[in-house]
């Protein structure tokens, strides 16, 4: 195969998504392996839809490159080949949070909280740069072999200045995963910062419970559950429960804000203190047996040292 831009040799497929395929490739010029994302343009799409997909990929590259954050993949280059854009990025050795949950089951509260901290940090940086992600979900959270946690796939990202403008959509009409769309997004709102936070809450729920709170048998049922706010309260969330419930509030104006979520995530990420430790929750300390003052051969209620003799009486006299 002729290398892209006479430089990148495609080697193998790393993953496939709704908008494209990610390849492992070799950069001949810099002698290093990279990841190359190509957009897929199905024949059944109209010319307008194909142009939209290409534009989305270019916007993704720009949005990702604009963020200087350790939780965002580095974009090296963008190539136009055969009328299609190809994004060249750093090659990651990682699994998605979705894969981790499917293969290993729900995560411990502390680990899920640390993942939530990293994702929230990326969202805070993106919002500060005026960018909405609009597709936060477990499959877009990468857990790297080197310990890094990244939020990827800014393919549906939009600048806040453009969020209120009518947007061009695909024929399918649904952008993003229905089980992770906020209520206002389901109703047609392009989204706001609180919409990304709602999706983070649904992602945290999935991390500790093992499934999305709004996942139903088909997309329409999932969106209806989102609109009605119908989900089972988490049973494994522990210290994450207040964060999840706060982020999943229906009204975006009443939804938990990022600073409060960051504080609660920081507390939930700490290892639990052992029973009896002053840092442990009061309910754990109350369960411990109270120490009784014990003396040799006696158990007395008065903790002061016992002094003197004990008079003994019996039927036989003193």
**What percent of the chain shows pLDDT beyond 90?**
53
Does residue 209 share a domain with residue 184? yes
Does residue 80 share a domain with residue 142? no
In 3D, which of 156, 182, 153 has the Cα closest to residue 169? Answer: 156
Does residue 137 share a domain with residue 43? no
Does residue 69 share a domain with residue 15? yes
β partners of residue 87: 37, 78
| pTM metric for this prediction | 0.77
Per the domain annotation, does 200 fall within a domain? yes
Per the domain annotation, does 312 fall within a domain? no
Does residue 202 share a domain with residue 254? yes
| pLDDT average, residue stretch 2-6 | 83
Per the domain annotation, does 184 fall within a domain? yes
* pLDDT confidence of residue 203: 98
Q: How far apart are CA 178 and CA 252, in angstroms?
A: 17
Does residue 219 share a domain with residue 204? yes
Does residue 244 share a domain with residue 114? yes
Per the domain annotation, does 300 fall within a domain? no
Does residue 181 share a domain with residue 74? no
Q: Is residue 58 within 8 Å of residue 125, measured between CB atoms?
A: no
Q: Is residue 184 within 8 Å of residue 223, measured between CB atoms?
A: no
232-283 pLDDT, tens per residue?
999 999 999 999 999 999 999 999 999 999 999 999 999 876 666 665 555 4
Residue 135 falls in the annotated catalytic set: yes
Does residue 158 share a domain with residue 39? no
Tell me: pLDDT of 317 over 60.
no
Does residue 196 share a domain with residue 48? no
* pLDDT confidence of residue 287: 46
Per the domain annotation, does 317 fall within a domain? no
Q: Which domain holds residue 63?
A: 8-90
Per the domain annotation, does 283 fall within a domain? no
CATH code assigned at 41 = 3.30.200.20
Tell me: pLDDT of 295 over 60.
no
- The CA distances from residue 123 to 67, 135, 187, in Å, are 10, 11, 22
pLDDT band at 34 (very low <50, low <70, confident <90, very high): very high
Q: Is residue 135 within 8 Å of residue 177, measured between CB atoms?
A: yes
Per the domain annotation, does 138 fall within a domain? yes
* pLDDT confidence of residue 24: 94
Which of 66-80, 95-109, 274-288 ranks highest by mean pLDDT?
95-109
| pLDDT average, residue stretch 57-81 | 83
Q: How far apart are CA 74 and CA 278, in angstroms?
A: 44
Write down the catalytic residue from 33, 43, 77, 135: 135
The total domain count for the chain is 2
| pLDDT average, residue stretch 122-142 | 92
CATH code assigned at 194 = 1.10.510.10
**Boundary (domain end) residue, out of 32, 66, 90:** 90
* pLDDT confidence of residue 256: 97
Does residue 104 share a domain with residue 85? no
* pLDDT confidence of residue 275: 64
Per the domain annotation, does 284 fall within a domain? no
β partners of residue 303: none
| pLDDT average, residue stretch 55-84 | 82
151-195 pLDDT, tens per residue?
988 766 666 655 544 444 433 444 558 999 999 999 988 789 999
- Please, what is the Cα angle at 120 between 75 and 133, to 5 degrees? 55
List strands edge to edge, sheet with 32-39: 8-16, 20-27, 32-39, 84-90, 75-81
**Boundary (domain end) residue, out of 249, 268, 287:** 268
Q: CB under 8 Å, gap of 24 or more: what pairs does 38-43 form?
A: 38/84, 38/86, 39/84, 39/85, 39/86, 41/84
DSSP codes joined into one string, the chain: -PPBTTTEEEEEEEEE-SSEEEEEEEETTTTEEEEEEEE---TTS-HHHHHHHHHHHHHHHHHHHH---TTSPPEEEEEEETTEEEEEEE---EEEHHHHHHHH-SPPHHHHHHHHHHHHHHHHHHHHTTEE-----GGGEEEETTS-EEE---TT-EEGGGTTS-----TT---S-GGG--HHHHTT----HHHHHHHHHHHHHHHHHSS-TT--SSHHHHHHHHHHT--PPPSS-GGGHHHHHHHT-SSGGGSPPHHHHHHHHHHHTSPPPPTT-TTS-HHHHHTSPPPPPEETTEE-S--SPP-S------TT--
pLDDT band at 297 (very low <50, low <70, confident <90, very high): very low
Does residue 82 share a domain with residue 141? no
**Boundary (domain end) residue, out of 73, 90, 107:** 90
């Amino acid at each position: 195969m002729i290398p892209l831009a006479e430089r990148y040799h495609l080697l193998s497929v790393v993953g496939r998504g709704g908008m494209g395929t990610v390849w492992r490739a070799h950069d001949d010029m810099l002698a290093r392996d990279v990841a190359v994302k190509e957009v897929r343009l199905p024949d059944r799409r109209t010319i307008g839809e194909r142009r939209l997909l290409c534009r989305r990929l270019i916007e993704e590259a720009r949005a990702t490159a604009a963020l200087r954050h350790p939780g965002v993949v580095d974009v090296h280059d963008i190539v136009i080949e055969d009328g299609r854009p190809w994004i060249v990025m750093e090659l990651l050795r990682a699994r998605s949070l979705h894969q981790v949950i499917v293969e290993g089951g729900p995560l411990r509260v502390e680990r899920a909280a640390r993942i939530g901290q990293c994702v929230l940090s990326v969202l805070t940086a993106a919002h500060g740069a005026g960018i909405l992600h609009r597709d936060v979900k477990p499959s877009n959270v990468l857990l790297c072999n080197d310990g890094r946690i990244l939020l990827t796939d800014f393919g549906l990202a939009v600048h806040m200045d453009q969020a209120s403008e009518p947007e061009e959509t695909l024929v399918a009409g649904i952008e993003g995963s229905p089980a992770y769309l906020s209520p206002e997004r389901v109703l047609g709102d392009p989204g706001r910062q609180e919409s990304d936070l709602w999706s983070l809450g649904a992602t945290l729920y999935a991390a500790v419970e093992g499934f999305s709170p709004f996942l139903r048998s088909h997309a329409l049922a999932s969106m209806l559950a989102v609109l009605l706010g119908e989900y089972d309260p988490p049973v494994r969330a522990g210290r994450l429960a207040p964060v999840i419930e706060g982020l999943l509030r229906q009204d975006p104006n009443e939804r938990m804000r990022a600073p409060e979520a960051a504080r609660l995530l920081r507390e939930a990420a700490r290892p639990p203190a052992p029973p009896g430790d002053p840092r442990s929750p009061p309910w754990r300390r109350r369960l411990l047996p109270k120490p009784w003052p014990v003396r040799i051969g006696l158990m007395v209620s008065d903790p002061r040292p016992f002094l003197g003799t004990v008079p003994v009486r019996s039927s036989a006299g003193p």
